[in-house]
Amino acid sequence: MKHSRPRLPDIIERNDLESTGKRRVGQIVSLIAWVIWIYLFTPIIALIGWVLGVELFQRYILDDPIGTLQAVQVYVLVIFIAGVVFIGWASYNWLRFHKRERRHAPPPISSRQLAQRFGISTDEAEDIEHQRIVTVHFNEDAEIIEIVPEEEPTTRADAPATSQETAGH
């Protein structure tokens, strides 16, 4: 007799139902596990570093910690200044424009204006306006040469019932 494996239930994870303390403990345990996992690969990382020339890293970074610290301080200062400038500019723009809406939609145009712009009759412009699907053909000079209103495709629910369908009801 062949035994089948029991079906395991799907795991439902709802972190929002856990307390904050329990979530923090889980995060710390996960961080420690990742550190240990990475530590297990230290010999491989050292081998790859040796092949790729880590002695240069040691010569310029580890053997001159004061120079490295000065470079890091300069980087931090530059990043801080850039952040202050960015936040200052964003704040200035917010204070200047937060109550003003300068972008406005263009005013609507009439069918007569549309017809005049495209060189068609007002009736054709109104047809275009009221049809849901229209194919407009242009010539090489971008002038409208033909307007073809398309019939909308009918769906099964919109189609009229046939005699066979009504006979059964």
pLDDT tens-digit readout, 27-42: 999 999 999 988 888 7
Question: Considering only CA atoms, which of 107, 110, 105 is closest in space to residue 128?
Answer: 110
Question: Considering only CA atoms, which of 152, 135, 136 is closest in space to residue 144?
Answer: 136
Question: Do 24 and 57 fall into the same domain?
Answer: yes
- Supply the pLDDT for residue 119: 87
Judge whether 43 lies within some domain.
yes
Inter-axis angle of helices 42-52 and 20-40, to 10 degrees?
50
- Residue that wins the pLDDT comparison between 112 and 165: 112
Report the distance separating Cα 122 and Cα 152, nearest Å.
23
Judge whether 135 lies within some domain.
yes
Judge whether 31 lies within some domain.
yes
Q: Which domain holds residue 128?
A: 119-149
SS3 7: coil
- Supply the pLDDT for residue 81: 97
Instruction: Evaluate if residue 6 carries a pLDDT over 70.
Output: no
Judge whether 113 lies within some domain.
no
Question: Do 57 and 77 fall into the same domain?
Answer: no
Instruction: Work out how many domains the chain is built from and give that number.
Output: 3
- Supply the pLDDT for residue 85: 97
CA 106 to chain centre: 28
Question: Do 26 and 57 fall into the same domain?
Answer: yes
Instruction: Evaluate if residue 163 carries a pLDDT over 60.
Output: no
For the whole model, what pTM was predicted?
0.33
Instruction: Evaluate if residue 15 carries a pLDDT over 80.
Output: no
Judge whether 142 lies within some domain.
yes
- Supply the pLDDT for residue 168: 47
Judge whether 124 lies within some domain.
yes
Question: Do 35 and 59 fall into the same domain?
Answer: yes
